[in-house]
């Protein structure tokens, strides 16, 4: 995926990997390792995820990221981890390479929320489930996922409206 020019990603439940802090990512990887009963290689996984985030700073790259508002409230760590994570989302939303949309709780949806996925250059869709990562490269699957992404994008808010939702989620951590 690092060779991709454009990623379109929909993540309804957690902060997306390309926007995660190291502490938040460690929580994600630790939880999955425990669920699957596998050896934890959290440090290596976090380092690899952090290295992939360099993609966001390369010229000519575009991340079109949609996040469900619930992902901003999903507490995968103590308040300090979550506050830093939401601060990181705000910081990255200012990059020229990132277009961040938040689908608010109150948004009128065209489709059910469905599962998370990432489209790579309109040629590949990557879907992760509890067991594995699935790569879908047939034209029909890519076209269908693009329709889903577009429907969620129409329900999203962007710019200052998105930042206000993120700030509200961050303020809620003080309550």
pLDDT, one tens digit per residue, over 96-138 is 999 999 999 999 999 999 999 999 999 999 998 888 889 999 9
CA–CA separation, 76 and 28 (whole Å): 7
Q: Once rounded to an integer, what is the mean pLDDT over residues 15-37?
A: 89
Task: Say whether pTM exceeds 0.95.
Answer: no
Query: Whats the size of the chain, residue-wise?
Result: 175
The phi, psi pair for 11, rounded to 5°, reads: -135, 100
Q: Using a CB cutoff of 8 Å and minimum separation of 24, what contacts does 21-26 make?
A: 21/81, 21/84, 21/85, 21/88, 22/46, 22/50, 23/77, 23/81, 23/84, 23/85, 24/76, 24/77, 24/81, 24/82, 24/84, 24/85, 25/49, 25/50
The percentage of residues in the chain with a pLDDT greater than 90, rounded to a whole number, is 77
For 148, the enclosing helix (H) or strand (E) is helix 139-155
pLDDT at site 1:
64
Topology of domain 6-172 in CATH is Endonuclease; Chain A (3.30.870)
Mean per-residue pLDDT of the chain: 93
Pairing of strands 98-103, 62-68: parallel
Q: Once rounded to an integer, what is the mean pLDDT over residues 69-81?
A: 95
Helix/strand/coil for 151: helix
Of 99, 18, 27, which is closest to residue 51 (Cα–Cα)?
Answer: 18
**Beta-bridge mates of residue 125:** 119, 136
Would you give the distance in Å from CA 19 to the centre of its chain? 7
């Amino acid at each position: 995926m690092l060779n991709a020019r454009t990623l379109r990603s929909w993540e309804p439940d957690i902060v997306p990997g390309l926007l995660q802090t190291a502490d938040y990512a460690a929580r994600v990887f630790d939880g999955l390792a425990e669920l699957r009963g596998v050896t934890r290689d959290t440090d290596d996984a976090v380092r690899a995820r952090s290295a992939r985030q360099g993609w966001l700073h390369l010229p000519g790259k575009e991340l079109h990221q949609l996040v469900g508002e619930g992902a901003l409230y999903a507490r995968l760590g103590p308040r300090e981890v979550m506050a830093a994570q939401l601060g990181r989302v705000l910081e990255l939303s200012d990059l020229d390479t990132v277009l961040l949309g938040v689908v608010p709780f109150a948004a009128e949806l065209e489709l059910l929320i469905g599962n998370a996925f990432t489209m790579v250059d309109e040629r590949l869709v990557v879907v992760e489930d509890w067991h594995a990562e699935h790569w879908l490269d047939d034209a029909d699957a890519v076209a269908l996922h693009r329709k889903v992404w577009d429907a969620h994008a129409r329900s999203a808010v962007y710019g200052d409206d998105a930042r206000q939702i993120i700030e509200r989620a961050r303020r809620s951590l003080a309550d």
